[in-house]
Amino acid sequence: MEISVIVPLYNAEKYIEECLNSLLAQTIIGHTEVIVVDDHGEDGSVDIVKRIIAEHQYGKHIKLISTTQNGGAWAARNIGLELARGQYIGFCDADDWVEPDMYERLYREAESREADWAYCLGQKDYEGGEESEVLEQEIDESCVMKDEVKKKMFVNGISYFWTAIYSRTFLKTNHIRFPEGKFAEDSYFWWMAVMYSRRLGVVNSVGYHYRIQPDSISQRPDEQKAEIKQMIYSKLIKYFKGKGLYRLYQRELDWLYIRKGFLVPLEIEAVAKEKPDFKSIWKKRSEDEVSLNNIYLMRDFGTFVRIWAFRLFPNLMIKILRKEYEKK
């Protein structure tokens, strides 16, 4: 078995058929298994999956399993990882879809480069009618993952983890799994893959379609979201420190934390809560020993101003961000 694709399933009856049809249409379907992990939703998603298994020409390539109880996408993906038999593992969300040759292109690239993982481009498809947006990455060609390459990815890379396939041996050897959390657990997985990889394969064409739904969990402000995002990036920094990997990439990892584990939580807090608690976010950053005296922050004037505006003019930032959110 060359490819295992893991699909967490929770209340996705509107989209799951399109998702699975795109996976069963893969040019490498004869060497692919699709592991659908039912996370105990309340709609008819599971019945649709069962029908596809029974009626589709390639339905036998789908394996439907269930979590013991609703645990979230992170838990469903980890269960899928334990059961996957493929040489490489990919992930597809139940409301997304992929191009017919995505996994074959990624497989051939990973094999030819002897890569630990390989990614292609993704595309955001907006349900509201906005023009689609191609999701590009900082590294646009296959390469050996030298320190300078990893630094570039930590500084400018974006964690589109579902556009990739990962060597199962690579994931197992480096104990790469999804941490508990409703948000940013996929980012943790991605940055672990960046840190531990030796070779990377890149396919410079769109393979994955990421559906943007205005009412989806990922698009809504959530009172827990700020705390969880900061917790995930705190966990990442602490893990790398514990493994002796932090010092070599300190400036880059601190900048990653500042952007994703500090500024983003500040912005979410401003929108999601009636009375935002910015002090706790600043305090947590201090406890994590991530300094704002960072060369990348000094070079990014917009981010620098935005962060210090929270410190000096919090009420103004709340008004600005809430107006920005209302326009979306």
Residue 175: the pLDDT is 96
User: Is pTM, for the whole model, over 0.85?
Assistant: yes
Q: Calculate mean pLDDT across residues 271-283.
A: 91
Which of 134-143, 186-195, 232-241 is predicted least confidently?
134-143
| pLDDT band, residue 162 (cuts 50/70/90) | very high
Instruction: Please name the residue ranges forming H helices in the chain.
Output: 16-24, 45-55, 73-83, 102-113, 147-156, 168-173, 185-196, 225-242, 250-256, 264-272, 278-287, 295-299, 301-312, 314-327
Instruction: Check residue 217 and give its pLDDT.
Output: 53
Compute the average pLDDT of residues 18-40. Answer: 97
The band of 148, judged by pLDDT with boundaries at 50, 70 and 90, is very high
Mean pLDDT (the chain) is 93
Confidence category of residue 248, pLDDT binned at 50, 70, 90: very high
Contact 121, 205 (CB under 8 A): yes
pLDDT in tens, 75-104: 999 999 999 999 999 999 999 999 999 999
Structural domains of the chain, with CATH: 3-218 (3.90.550.10), 221-327 (no CATH)
Residue with tokens 């592991």: 35
Question: To 10 degrees, the CA torsion angle through 207, 183, 3, 87?
Answer: 130
Reading the block at residue 290, the tokens are 């991530």
Whether 183 shows a pLDDT value over 90: the answer reads no
CA distance 259 to 266: 10
Q: What DSSP element (H or E) covers 135?
A: strand 133-135
How remote is the C-alpha of 212 from its chain's centroid? 14
Q: What is the mean pLDDT of residues 225-237?
A: 93
Least-confidence region, from 49-53, 252-256, 275-279, 282-286: 275-279
The predicted pLDDT at position 274 comes to 87
Please determine, for residue 263, whether its predicted confidence score (pLDDT) is greater than 80. Answer: yes
**Gyration radius of the chain over CA positions:** 20
pLDDT of res. 219: 54
**pLDDT at residue 215, rounded to an integer:** 60
Confidence of residue 180 (pLDDT cuts 50, 70, 90): confident
pLDDT tens readout for residues 296-327: 999 999 999 999 999 999 999 999 999 888 76
